[in-house]
Copies of this chain bind each other. A is one copy, B any other.
């Protein structure tokens, strides 16, 4: 049970999940074939069905959960590093803009494309994306509440933040511009500032 070698390349399963995550986020779920994933992961085709007996759908669910958790940690790190929540929000949006530019407008939200694709067509995967979003909302609510916001304000601020971020990603990737991320980030920062000032 080679879970994770301390040295050398990651395990086959890890390589498959990583490659799947990258391709799903860039090309979507239906737009990515298993053949392409195993080619990118340098893994044998059969290994997919060894590690994921449920096939593409099970791989998709695992990718959603894994990348969702990783992105949640990214948000938490930005909020904990910043001196105050408003700065944390700004940092998170500018960081997202940097990543977007560095990857040629490919890497935005790790699950948004898949989420829209499966929302009305694949109930198990829709639930996986819903669980990730719910987790992110809990994460943000806790962070803003810790900063002094009421429970209700913290939750609404988080949902507004996630909405602005996801939508800005859509516009930014289509327009190949970081302007939406900058404007949306500033808008959320302003709202956070207003909500945190008036308890």
Contacts and interface: CB of A to CB of B under 8 A. Distances in A.
Interface of A: 26-31, 104-106, 112-113, 115-117, 119-121, 126, 129-130, 133-134, 156, 159-160, 162-171, 173-176, 179-180, 183-184, 186-187, 190-191, 194
A154 to B, nearest CB: 12
Per assembly, the copies of the chain total 2
Given A130-B174, A134-B175, A170-B112, A121 B26 contact: yes
A180 B187 CA distance: 16
Contacts of A156: 183, 186-187
A63 B166 CA distance: 23
Given A28-B28, A191-B187, A170 B120 contact: no
Please indicate which of the listed interface residues A104, A130, A184, A187 has the most CB atoms of chain B within 10 Å of its own CB.
A187
Given A104-B120, A129-B174, A162-B171, 17 more contacts: A27-B117, A28-B31, A30-B30, A31-B117, A31-B121, A106-B120, A113-B117, A119-B174, A130-B176, A133-B171, A159-B179, A163-B165, A163-B180, A164-B167, A164-B184, A164-B187, A187-B187
A166 B170 contact: yes
Contacts of A166: 166-167, 170-171
Contacts of A126: 174, 176
A187 B193 CA distance: 13
A105 B119 contact: yes
Please indicate which of the listed interface residues A27, A105, A163, A175 has the most CB atoms of chain B within 10 Å of its own CB.
A163
